[in-house]
């Protein structure tokens, strides 16, 4: 933004400097002008010239001259014709014997410049008929040293059979060679700087559109800037003739006119899409249609025709300026964001357009300044763009914060680990049918006799109790690399994507936390609670089920069913933590040293194959654990005997275990079962 403002100031200063160094000369009779005594600056030769209609003369002319100010000959001979402009300059002492130069601007529509009878500069081909004339418009600088030390004789031969304006359109600039060349270079640099700035803004807005296709305003403004760049390329110092010297006069004129009229339509469309007001787009499209119709006339007719209807083009452009200002004023009253910057820029831009239209119609001599007005508008758009980016950044930041908060909230319902397993970054990416298959460990835990306990509590007390219990257990799952898949009343189903020892350590920690929780309950005169935990490892399917309007993450697998059934066996055996034979095998392979004992082989409901069940003794407090560890060998001997049907042998061993550890509920379970069977 600062660089754009600096470039704008530089361009304006360059243009103003050029203007300040040109001095206009007063009219003198007999086609003579008095130069300043000292050549401190270049001078504009806009005083009295002699014009010789229908004659080409290099030094001496034969017909009678017509006095004329440096300007078109239309009032003398009409549009088409040819003739010679003549001017004699007396050189003051300070001007003599020094290299001089003359810059000719736009001459309609071909010319030859002679200095003291010698050709110094030419554009196109001049002739007495249209067939002998070849039009070409470009500015040029003629450098020369006068033959006579005190006088310069200037002859400009011109011919025009194509454009509505013939002859000198802009007064030539005369001065020391370095002064005139410097002015020419400054004007060219100004045009190139403006051209570069406008092209950059145009391509930038096109890039914005490509990254955000719904932003039609950026597309329209980008194309508008390219059109205005084309106009700069084909006017003023005419950079187009430098880059493409073979460019025809017809196409140069077409591009100049087309860029202006199409640019007017694009500009109003851009405003209507950027600052939407009632009927704004309708009016803009109608206006654009008129501009397109006029453009077709320019495209398919000759310059001799479409230059004659320049007045209609000027009316169209003026209407566009009024409509643009009206759009911005209405948008300002409607409170559209950023409209005041565009309105300020439009005042400069519109003022420049009106000034140039009056200048080209000969109403005044101040101009052209259209390009400066355009650049001020682009600076206003740059400011607006920077503000829009600031607003957009703030909006994105707020959206990001909201999305982060939303994702955090959703993570309380759908765990982040669940999304990661589905290869999704956030909840918004989840789709019905998303799924993945992998081996995981499932942990089920449940509160013993919760139904009886809940019947003694009110609904509010039930919720308070559950939340008090769950907020102690759930963090333990997360701390050991797992996540809670769902709460089923008082039960917890947790998944562990990592090795099964993570689930086992979590279960041991949950039993330890339960003992602390029971101490807290005892201090509040509440009865202690017990939980059972079952763990199994196997293949399972994680995925999203439901309908489009209601989705849910779930796990479908025999592994889940087995873990739930193992947890249910903790009630029958009266123990706190059971694992499957699969888990026990994986623990041994990983080298994990957990105290464990075989409880037996059972057929879990829903499975054909029986499952070995092991009790992990590390879930007990240290004192109790020691008693169970001491009887592991004798206990497993009793279990193997029971599995083989040797009841007397197993009863004897179980009695011995109970004698050493009266709290062994599993030994008591087997004894009672065997006695009933006997």
Instruction: Give a yes or no: residue 400 inside a domain.
Output: no
Q: Are 443 and 509 in contact (CB under 8 A)?
A: no
> Given 142, 163, 182, which residue is the final one in a domain?
182
264 and 292 in a common domain: yes
Using one digit for the tens of pLDDT, what is the confidence trace for 599-621?
988 876 666 778 899 999 999 99
Q: How many domains does the chain have?
A: 4
Tens of pLDDT, residues 292-333? 999 999 999 999 899 888 888 889 999 999 999 999 999 999
pLDDT at position 492: 92
Residue 535, CA distances (Å) to 104, 394, 464, 532 in order: 97, 49, 27, 10
Residue 146 domain-assigned?
yes
Q: What is the pLDDT of residues 626-644, one digit of tens each?
A: 888 999 899 999 888 888 8
Between 167-171, 399-403, 527-531, the lowest mean confidence (pLDDT) is in: 399-403
Confidence tier at 406 by pLDDT (50, 70, 90) = low
- On whether both 214 and 135 belong to a single domain, the answer is no
102/244 same-domain check:
no
Q: Are residues 445 and 563 in the same domain?
A: yes
List CB contacts of 157: < 8 A, sequence separation 6 or more.
56, 57, 58, 82, 83, 84, 111, 112, 113, 114, 126
Q: Is the pLDDT of residue 458 over 60?
A: yes
Indicate whether 246 belongs to any domain.
yes
Residue 123's SS3 state is strand
Q: Is residue 404 part of a domain?
A: no
H or E element in which residue 109 lies? none
* Least reliable range by pLDDT among 369-373, 459-463, 656-660: 369-373
Look at residue 348 and tell me whether its pLDDT is greater than 60: yes
pLDDT, position 34? 80
d(CA 175, CA 89): 11
> Which DSSP string do the residues of 424-482 spell out, in sequence order?
-SSGGG--TT-EEEEEEEEEEEEETTHHHHHHTS-HHHHHHHHHHHHHHHHHHHHHTT-
Q: Do 485 and 497 have their domain in common?
A: yes
pLDDT digits (tens, 9 = 90+) for 171-218: 899 999 999 999 999 988 988 888 898 898 899 889 988 988 888 888
Strands (E), 260-351: none
Lowest mean pLDDT among 249-258, 263-272, 401-410: 401-410
Residue 17 lies in a domain: yes
**399 part of a folded domain:** no
pLDDT for res 31: 54
Q: What is the pLDDT of residues 102-157, one digit of tens each?
A: 999 889 899 999 999 999 999 999 999 999 999 998 888 999 998 888 899 999 99
d(C-alpha 159, C-alpha 100), whole Å: 26
Query: Does residue 467 share a domain with residue 592?
Result: yes
Instruction: Say what angle helices 310-333 and 339-360 make with each other, to 10 degrees.
Output: 160
pLDDT of residue 607: 66
Residues 217 and 277 in one domain: yes
Residue 504 has pLDDT above 90, yes or no: yes
Judgement on whether residues 94 and 192 belong to the same structural domain of the protein:
no
Residue 409 placed within a domain: no
Rounded to whole angstroms, how far apart are CA atoms 559 and 438? Answer: 11
- Which CATH number fits the domain that encloses residue 458? 3.30.70.1230
Q: Is 270 in the same domain as 311?
A: yes
Same domain assignment for residues 241 and 377? yes
Average pLDDT of the chain to the nearest whole number: 85
Q: Is 402 inside any structural domain? A: no
CATH number at residue 242: 1.20.1070
How do 48-53 and 81-90 pair as beta strands?
antiparallel
State residue 9's pLDDT score: 42
Q: pLDDT exceeding 70 applies to what percent of the chain? A: 87
Residue-range definition of the domain harbouring residue 643: 620-678
User: pLDDT tens digits, residue range 17-52?
Assistant: 444 446 555 444 445 678 888 999 999 998 789 999
422 with 527, same domain: the answer is yes
Q: How many alpha carbons lie under 13 Å from residue 649 in its C-beta half-sphere?
A: 12
Domain boundary among 392, 426, 447: 392
Phi, psi of 251 (to 5 degrees): -75, -30
Final residue of a structural domain among 160, 182, 204: 182
Residues 398, 611: Cα–Cα separation, whole Å: 54
Q: Quote the CA–CA distance of 519 and 620 in Å, as a whole number.
A: 16
Distance of CA 345 to the CA centre of its chain: 25
Which helix (H) or strand (E) covers residue 606, if one does? none
For residues 467-478, give the mean pLDDT.
92
pLDDT band at 653 (very low <50, low <70, confident <90, very high): confident
Give the tens place of pLDDT for each residue, 53-71: 999 998 888 888 988 888 8
Tell me, what's the pLDDT at 418?
Answer: 66
491 and 588 belong to one structural domain: yes
Closest to 631 (Cα-Cα) out of 600, 601, 655: 655
């Amino acid at each position: 933004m600062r660089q754009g403002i600096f470039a704008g100031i530089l361009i304006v200063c360059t243009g103003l400097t050029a203007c300040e160094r040109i001095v206009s000369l007063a009219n003198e009779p007999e086609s003579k002008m008095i130069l300043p005594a000292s050549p401190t600056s270049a001078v504009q030769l806009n005083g009295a010239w002699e014009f010789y209609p229908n004659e080409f003369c290099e030094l001496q002319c034969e017909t009678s001259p017509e006095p004329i100010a440096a300007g078109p000959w239309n009032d003398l001979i009409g549009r088409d014709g040819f003739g010679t402009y003549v001017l004699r300059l007396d050189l003051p002492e300070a001007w003599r014997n020094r290299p001089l130069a003359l810059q000719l601007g736009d001459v309609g529509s071909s010319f030859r410049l002679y200095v003291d009878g010698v050709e110094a500069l030419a554009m196109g081909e001049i002739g007495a008929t249209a067939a002998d004339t070849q039009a070409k418009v470009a500015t040029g600088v003629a450098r020369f040293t006068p033959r006579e030390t005190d006088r310069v004789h200037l002859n400009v031969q011109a011919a025009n059979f194509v454009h509505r304006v013939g002859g000198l359109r802009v007064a030539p600039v005369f001065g020391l060679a370095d002064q005139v060349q410097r002015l020419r270079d400054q004007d060219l640099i100004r045009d190139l700087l403006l051209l570069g700035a406008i092209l950059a803004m145009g391509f930038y807005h096109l890039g914005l559109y490509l990254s955000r296709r719904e932003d039609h305003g950026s597309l329209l403004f980008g194309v508008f800037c390219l059109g205005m760049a084309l106009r700069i390329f084909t006017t003023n110092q005419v950079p187009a003739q430098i880059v493409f010297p073979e460019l025809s006069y017809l196409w140069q004129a077409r591009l100049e006119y087309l860029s202006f009229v199409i640019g007017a339509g694009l500009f109003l469309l851009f405003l209507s899409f950027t600052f939407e007001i009632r009927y704004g787009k309708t009016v803009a499209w109608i206006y654009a249609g008129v501009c397109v119709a006029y453009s077709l006339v320019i495209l398919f007719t000759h310059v001799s025709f479409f230059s004659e209807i320049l007045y209609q083009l000027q009316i169209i452009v003026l209407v566009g300026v009024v409509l643009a200002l009206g759009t911005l004023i209405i948008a300002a009253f409607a409170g559209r964001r950023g409209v005041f910057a565009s309105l300020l820029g439009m005042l400069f831009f519109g003022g420049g357009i009106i000034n140039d239209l009056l200048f080209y119609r000969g109403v005044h001599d101040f101009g052209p300044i259209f390009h400066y007005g355009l650049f001020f508008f682009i600076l206003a758009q740059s400011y607006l763009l920077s503000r829009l980016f600031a607003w957009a950044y703030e909006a994105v930041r707020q959206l990001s914060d909201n999305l982060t908060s939303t994702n955090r909230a959703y993570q309380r319902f759908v765990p982040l680990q669940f999304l990661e397993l589905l290869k999704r970054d956030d909840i918004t990416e989840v789709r019905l049918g998303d799924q993945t298959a992998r081996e995981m460990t499932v942990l089920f835990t449940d509160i013993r006799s919760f139904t009886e306990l809940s019947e003694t509590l009110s609904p509010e007390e039930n919720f308070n109790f559950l939340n008090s219990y769950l907020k102690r257990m759930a963090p333990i799952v997360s701390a050991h690399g797992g996540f809670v898949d769902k709460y089923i009343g008082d039960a917890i189903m947790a998944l562990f994507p990592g090795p099964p020892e993570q689930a086992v350590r979590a279960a041991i920690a949950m039993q330890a936390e339960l003992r602390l929780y029971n101490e807290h309950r005892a201090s509040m005169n509440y009865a202690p609670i017990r939980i059972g935990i079952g763990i199994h490892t196997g293949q399972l399917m994680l995925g999203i089920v439901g309908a489009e309007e209601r989705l849910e993450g779930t796990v479908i697998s025999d592994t889940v069913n087995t873990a739930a059934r193992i947890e249910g066996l903790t009630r029958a055996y009266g123990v706190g933590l059971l694992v499957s034979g699969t888990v026990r095998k994986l623990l041994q392979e990983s080298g994990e040293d957990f105290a464990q004992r075989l409880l037996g082989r059972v057929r879990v409901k829903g499975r054909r194959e029986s499952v070995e069940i092991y009790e992990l003794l590390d879930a007990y407090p240290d004192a109790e654990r020691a008693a169970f560890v001491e009887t592991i060998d004798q206990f497993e001997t009793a279990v193997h005997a029971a599995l083989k049907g040797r009841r007397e042998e197993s009863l004897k061993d179980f009695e011995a275990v109970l004698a050493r550890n009266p709290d062994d509920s599993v030994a008591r379970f087997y004894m009672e079962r065997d006695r009933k069977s006997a």
